[in-house]
């Protein structure tokens, strides 16, 4: 007789930023069912398909199960099984040799989208090792919003979807597919059910756009122009919050002058949104208080991101929506361990001066190295040589802009170690591959350090395969080999205890509570002002000259000029079935989306002789790839939206799993970068398309 199902509680993770509360059914040591937990603070019973099938990650026959050491040439796909002892010793020996020869900064520590507590243990490892260079995708993911927020209003203003709001302005955000940063789809649908109005700014008619009161189908890459158009209407028509503006903002008169030229007619010419719709949307947003601006990742995908993010914070401020419930808030953490002590920031006081990015003039408070600059260091030794790489939770060969340059850079490194759950294009270039334990197999903490004022528990439910270790354990043991063991724990499990200890809790007690949230503190500025040099929201940046920043947001032009050779505009959106390049190997997900799809408007398809289902070649000035056409009017006739993150696990490690064939980042370049964050044009590129 089959054993009875035991139900355990945890939170979903590593399928996106995570956050849905789950009930996980277990028989023996195997997860047999996953469903939503109605008591979930962020999700209230909601789950998406990929969350429900997420245990399939653990049981794939090709999952990495032993440490591997490269045999033959780099990237040849030949491996030898080795012991943990050997894997850690070889890695330590190589990293120490590089440090000896070139200095600690010649080792880059790589992470991708923050997935769990290991992200911060990696930063700690880098700090203790002595390297200021943590390489991550923050250049195109959240640092622009967070850091611009901090410079403008002293914090990262997140949409408050937990208190009732009158209106949601969803700007370049596709929450119903992405639930980004724990802004779970169900939080938005609940607000809409309770009567909140909805404005969607998106070049694609998404599921959310279908539900919107107003949908603004802007020309990709013109966010800042549209936002300045909103500001123009709001200021010209005196719809702003005059009390807030007077007491709590700096540079309003300058901003008013700055947005004068951005009248609806002019802005319509740039953004393709009609003057009438710009006016209507701006009026609706300014008058519905509170209104929450849910800003998404797509504004971070071209070199104009600083102005785009700046203009959106100005919009939140003048409309009186900062630090109000149901608006955009400063989410305060519960009394957990602070990031600084956790990562031992004290050990590397000169980090800002020493890191690769600083040499290129990245904005203060940008604390990771943009991948574009990392590769310059590897390939050209600018500003100094970088020869080694330890990476986890990331797949740069597919995830970073300009994949050919990534390939060259990784091929030229002296030593690469990668921790993975599965062999990927990037892992296939490594010298050492560590097999990791995964979600459900280790105690972990979600949402630590991502600015939403809460953490969620992800307790261990089943045992990992014998030789799969949590990243945290790998780094704890590697740390002891490359630095003074006093910085590391006897038992790696102490890391999760460290985070919650200041709250007077053990990890087990935290796990039984499920989550911890900081206090709701709204309107702190009324007593304390804003944490900026002027104590106000800096519509005009008082530090502009010092940091060589533009004092006021402006539209300086399209990310790339129009080009008659490439008459269409290429964009992308994240797939609801995959996390960027991850998990193409999970059968149930692959069935839902077996191949990469590029969306193209019926008129454009007809003119080009392309039918639904045709194989097509998508090309930009930088490269070309093959995807499959989906003919659909959710995109504008001049816009095509291609799929991200594709490689083919069913193919061969010796060829890096056909990483060139359909990978979006073959179409991108790091030739032009935004200075503040080193952001490349990941999107909004002139392109053309033809039948294969
Ligand atoms: N063109 C284009 N490029 C983009 C984007 C885009 O929109 N357009 N989006 C950008 C954004 S926002 C981001 S955040 C980055 C994402 O960049 P990455 O984070 O590098 O990309 P992922 O595909 O998520 O790769 C994650 C890898 O981590 C592995 N993994 C999963 N869980 C674990 C774990 O517990 N431990 C370890 N060691 N490994 C694990 C997965 O198998 C996978 O190979 O990509 C960026 N790149
Ligand atoms: N299912 C799933 N969920 C994910 C991820 C995933 O890969 N898959 N990735 C996670 C990560 S790393 C992140 S950062 C978040 C990102 O989550 P989101 O912020 O939702 O980001 P995207 O899906 O990149 O883009 C959002 C929307 O922007 C639109 N868009 C494209 N170009 C433009 C433009 O020029 N202007 C405007 N206004 N809109 C534009 C797209 O059509 C899309 O609907 O999601 C996380 N969640
Ligand atoms: S929305 Fe995200 S957190 Fe929720 S079930 Fe899906 S993948 Fe998991
Ligand atoms: Mo991201």
pLDDT tens-digit map of 209-249: 999 999 999 999 999 999 999 999 999 999 999 999 999 99
- Specify the pLDDT at position 210: 98
pLDDT tens-digit map of 113-142: 999 999 999 999 999 999 999 999 999 999
Q: What's 464's DSSP letter?
A: P
Q: Is 392 in the pocket of ligand 3 (CB under 6 A)?
A: no
Residue pair 453/485 in contact by the 8 Å Cβ criterion = no
Two tokens, residue 164: 């009732």
Which ligand is closest in space to the CA of residue 574? 2
Q: What helix, strand, coil percent values describe the chain, rounded to 5?
A: 35, 20, 45
Residue 232: phi and psi, rounded to 5, are -55, -50
Kindly state the helix (H) or strand (E) to which residue 481 belongs, with its residue range.
helix 471-482
CATH value at residue 640: 2.40.40.20
Residue pair 441/414 in contact by the 8 Å Cβ criterion = no
In a domain, 526, yes or no: no
Task: Kindly state whether residues 325 and 347 are assigned to the same domain.
Answer: no
The atom of ligand 2 lying closest to the CA of 295 is 19
pLDDT exceeding 90 applies to what percent of the chain? 100
Two tokens, residue 162: 């937990």
Query: What confidence category does residue 208 fall into, taking pLDDT thresholds of 50, 70 and 90?
Result: very high
DSSP β-ladder status, 134-135 and 107-110: parallel
Please tell me the total count of domains within the chain.
3
Q: Is 15 in the pocket of ligand 3 (CB under 6 A)?
A: yes
Which mutation among 14, 15, 588 tests ligand 3's pocket best, with the greatest number of atoms within 8 A of CB?
Answer: 15
CATH value at residue 208: 3.40.228.10
Q: Using CA positions, which residue lies closest to atom 35 of ligand 2?
A: 220
Task: Kindly state whether residues 422 and 512 are assigned to the same domain.
Answer: yes
pLDDT mean over 439-461: 97
pTM above 0.85, yes or no: yes
Task: Kindly state whether residues 685 and 595 are assigned to the same domain.
Answer: yes
Q: Using CA positions, which residue lies closest to atom 2 of ligand 3?
A: 18
Q: Is 473 in the pocket of ligand 2 (CB under 6 A)?
A: no
Which ligand is closest in space to the CA of residue 298? 2
pLDDT tens-digit map of 646-668: 999 999 999 999 999 999 999 99
Q: Using CA positions, which residue lies closest to atom 5 of ligand 1?
A: 399
- What are the strands, taking DSSP E only, across 247-289? 249-250
Q: Using CA positions, which residue lies closest to atom 21 of ligand 2?
A: 297
Task: Kindly state whether residues 128 and 224 are assigned to the same domain.
Answer: no
pLDDT mean over 268-290: 98
Residue pair 549/306 in contact by the 8 Å Cβ criterion = yes
Task: Kindly state whether residues 641 and 677 are assigned to the same domain.
Answer: yes
The residue among 84, 128, 87, 121 whose CA lies nearest residue 107 is 128
Which ligand is closest in space to the CA of residue 178? 2
Q: Is 571 in the pocket of ligand 2 (CB under 6 A)?
A: yes
Q: Is 172 in the pocket of ligand 2 (CB under 6 A)?
A: yes
Which mutation among 12, 55, 113 tests ligand 1's pocket best, with the greatest number of atoms within 8 A of CB?
Answer: 113
Q: Is 20 in the pocket of ligand 3 (CB under 6 A)?
A: yes
- Specify the pLDDT at position 3: 82
Which mutation among 9, 16, 450 tests ligand 3's pocket best, with the greatest number of atoms within 8 A of CB?
Answer: 16
Q: Using CA positions, which residue lies closest to atom 36 of ligand 1?
A: 393
pLDDT mean over 271-290: 98
Question: Is pLDDT above 70 for 1?
Answer: no
Q: Is 324 in the pocket of ligand 3 (CB under 6 A)?
A: no
* Cα 360 to averaged position of ligand 1 atoms, centre (Å): 25
Task: Kindly state whether residues 72 and 211 are assigned to the same domain.
Answer: no
pLDDT tens-digit map of 488-505: 999 999 999 999 999 999
Half-sphere exposure at residue 367, Cβ-oriented, CA atoms within 13 angstroms: 16
C-alpha dihedral, 41 to 45 to 46 to 49, nearest 10°: 130
Question: Is pLDDT above 90 for 2?
Answer: no
Give ion ligand 4 contacts, CB < 5 A. 113, 141
Alpha-carbon separation of residue 456 from 185, 451, 520, 562 (angstroms): 17, 13, 17, 46
Two tokens, residue 196: 């909140």
Q: Using CA positions, which residue lies closest to atom 4 of ligand 3?
A: 20
Task: Kindly state whether residues 132 and 197 are assigned to the same domain.
Answer: no
Q: Is 540 in the pocket of ligand 2 (CB under 6 A)?
A: no
* Cα 178 to averaged position of ligand 3 atoms, centre (Å): 8
Task: Give CA angle at 54 (53, 55), nearest 5°.
Answer: 95
DSSP β-ladder status, 639-642 and 568-572: parallel
In a domain, 420, yes or no: yes
In a domain, 574, yes or no: yes
Task: Kindly state whether residues 512 and 408 are assigned to the same domain.
Answer: yes
- Identify the residues whose C-beta falls under 6 Å from ligand 1: 14, 112-113, 115, 137, 140-141, 297, 301, 392-396, 399, 419-422, 424, 436, 438, 471, 572, 579-582, 644-645, 664-665, 668, 682
Task: Kindly state whether residues 315 and 406 are assigned to the same domain.
Answer: no
Query: What confidence category does residue 692 fall into, taking pLDDT thresholds of 50, 70 and 90?
Result: very high
Question: Is pLDDT above 90 for 304?
Answer: yes
* Cα 45 to averaged position of ligand 3 atoms, centre (Å): 11
Which mutation among 11, 18, 49, 53 tests ligand 3's pocket best, with the greatest number of atoms within 8 A of CB?
Answer: 18
pLDDT exceeding 70 applies to what percent of the chain? 100
In a domain, 148, yes or no: no
Question: Is pLDDT above 90 for 604?
Answer: yes
Q: Is 676 in the pocket of ligand 3 (CB under 6 A)?
A: no
Which mutation among 281, 298, 641 tests ligand 2's pocket best, with the greatest number of atoms within 8 A of CB?
Answer: 298
Residue 525: how many other CB atoms lie within 10 Å: 21
Task: Kindly state whether residues 245 and 389 are assigned to the same domain.
Answer: no
Q: Is 47 in the pocket of ligand 3 (CB under 6 A)?
A: yes
Q: Using CA positions, which residue lies closest to atom 25 of ligand 1?
A: 394
SS (H, E, C) 74-129: CCCCEEEECCHHHHHHHHHHHHHHHHHHHCHHHEEEECCCCCCCHHHHHHHHHHHH
Distance, CA of 296 to CA of 627 (rounded, Å): 25
Residue 666: which domain range?
Answer: 568-691
Which mutation among 16, 119, 178, 227 tests ligand 2's pocket best, with the greatest number of atoms within 8 A of CB?
Answer: 178
Q: Is 180 in the pocket of ligand 2 (CB under 6 A)?
A: yes
CATH value at residue 102: 3.40.50.740
User: What integer best gives the mean pLDDT of the chain?
Assistant: 97
Two tokens, residue 215: 């949908």
In a domain, 16, yes or no: no
In a domain, 451, yes or no: no
Q: Using CA positions, which residue lies closest to atom 37 of ligand 1?
A: 393
* Cα 361 to averaged position of ligand 4 atoms, centre (Å): 23
Distance, CA of 80 to CA of 456 (rounded, Å): 38
Which mutation among 159, 168, 172 tests ligand 2's pocket best, with the greatest number of atoms within 8 A of CB?
Answer: 172
Largest interatomic CA distance in the chain: 77
In a domain, 443, yes or no: no
* Cα 429 to averaged position of ligand 4 atoms, centre (Å): 23
Task: Kindly state whether residues 305 and 343 are assigned to the same domain.
Answer: no
Question: Is pLDDT above 70 for 52?
Answer: yes
Q: Using CA positions, which residue lies closest to atom 12 of ligand 2?
A: 113
Task: Kindly state whether residues 173 and 318 are assigned to the same domain.
Answer: yes
* Cα 163 to averaged position of ligand 2 atoms, centre (Å): 24
Q: Is 36 in the pocket of ligand 3 (CB under 6 A)?
A: no
Residue 87: phi and psi, rounded to 5, are -60, -45
Residue pair 636/272 in contact by the 8 Å Cβ criterion = yes
In a domain, 24, yes or no: no
């Amino acid at each position: 007789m089959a054993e009875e199902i035991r139900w355990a509680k945890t939170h979903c993770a590593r399928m996106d930023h995570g956050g849905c509360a789950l009930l996980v059914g277990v028989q023996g040591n195997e997860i047999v069912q996953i469903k939503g937990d109605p008591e979930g603070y962020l999700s209230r019973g909601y789950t998406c398909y990929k969350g429900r099938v997420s245990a399939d990650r653990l049981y794939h026959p090709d999952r990495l199960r032993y440490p591997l050491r490269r045999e033959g040439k780099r990237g040849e796909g030949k491996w030898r099984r080795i012991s943990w002892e050997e894997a850690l010793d070889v890695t330590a020996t190589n990293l120490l040799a590089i440090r000896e020869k070139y200095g600690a900064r010649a080792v880059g520590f790589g992470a991708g989208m923050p997935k769990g507590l290991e992200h911060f243990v990696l930063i700690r490892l880098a700090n203790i090792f002595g390297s200021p260079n943590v390489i991550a995708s923050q250049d195109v993911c959240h640092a622009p919003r967070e850091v611009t927020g901090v410079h403008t209003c002293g914090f990262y203003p997140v949409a408050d979807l937990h208190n009732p709001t009158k209106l949601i302005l969803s700007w370049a955000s596709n929450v119903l597919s992405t639930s980004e940063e724990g802004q779970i789809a169900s939080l938005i649908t609940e607000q809409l059910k309770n009567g909140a109005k909805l404005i969607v700014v998106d070049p694609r008619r998404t599921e959310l756009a279908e539900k919107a009161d107003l949908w603004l189908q802007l020309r990709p890459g013109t966010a800042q122009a549209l936002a300045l158009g909103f500001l123009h209407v709001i200021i010209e028509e005196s719809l702003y919050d005059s009390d807030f503006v007077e007491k709590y903002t700096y540079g309003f008169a300058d901003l008013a002058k700055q947005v004068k030229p951005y009248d609806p007619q002019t802005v319509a010419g740039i953004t393709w949104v009609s003057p009438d719709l710009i006016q209507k949307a701006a009026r609706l947003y300014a008058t519905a208080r509170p209104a929450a601006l849910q800003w998404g990742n797509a504004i971070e995908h071209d070199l104009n991101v600083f102005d785009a993010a700046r203009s959106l914070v100005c919009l939140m401020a003048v409309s009186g929506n900062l630090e109000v419930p149901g608006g955009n808030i400063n989410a305060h953490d519960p009394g957990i361990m602070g990031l600084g002590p956790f990562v031992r920031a004290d050990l590397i006081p000169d980090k800002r001066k020493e890191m690769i990015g600083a040499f290129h003039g990245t904005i203060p408070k940008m604390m990771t190295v943009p991948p574009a600059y990392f590769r310059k260091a590897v390939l050209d030794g600018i500003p100094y040589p970088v020869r080694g790489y330890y990476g986890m939770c990331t797949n740069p060969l597919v995830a970073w802009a300009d994949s050919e340059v990534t390939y060259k850079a990784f091929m030229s490194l002296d030593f690469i170690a990668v921790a993975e759950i599965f062999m990927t294009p990037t892992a296939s270039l490594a010298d050492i591959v560590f097999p990791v334990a995964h979600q459900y197999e280790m105690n972990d903490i979600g949402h630590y350090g991502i600015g939403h004022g809460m953490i969620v528990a992800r307790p261990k439910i089943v045992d990992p395969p014998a030789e799969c270790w949590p990243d945290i354990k790998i780094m704890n043991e590697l740390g002891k080999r490359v630095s003074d063991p006093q910085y590391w724990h006897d038992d790696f499990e102490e890391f999760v205890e460290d985070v919650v200890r200041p709250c007077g809790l053990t990890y087990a007690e935290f796990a039984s509570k499920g989550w911890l949230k900081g206090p709701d503190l709204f309107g702190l500025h009324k007593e304390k002002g804003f944490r900026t040099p002027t104590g106000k929201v800096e519509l005009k940046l008082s530090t502009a000259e010092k940091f060589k920043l533009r004092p006021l947001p402006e539209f300086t032009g399209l990310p790339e000029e129009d080009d008659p050779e490439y008459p269409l505009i290429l964009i992308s959106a994240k797939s609801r079935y995959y996390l960027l390049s991850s998990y193409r190997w999970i059968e149930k997900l692959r069935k839902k989306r077996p191949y990469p799809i590029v969306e193209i408007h019926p008129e454009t398809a007809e003119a080009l002789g392309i039918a639904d289902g045709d194989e097509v070649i998508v090309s930009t000035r930088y490269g070309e790839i093959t995807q499959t056409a989906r003919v659909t009017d959710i995109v504008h006739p001049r816009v095509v939206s291609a799929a991200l993150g594709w490689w083919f696990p069913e193919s061969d490690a010796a060829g890096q799993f056909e990483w060139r064939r359909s990978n979006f980042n073959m179409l991108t370049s790091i030739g032009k970068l935004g200075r503040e964050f080193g952001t490349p044009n990941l999107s909004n590129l002139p392109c053309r398309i033809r039948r294969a």
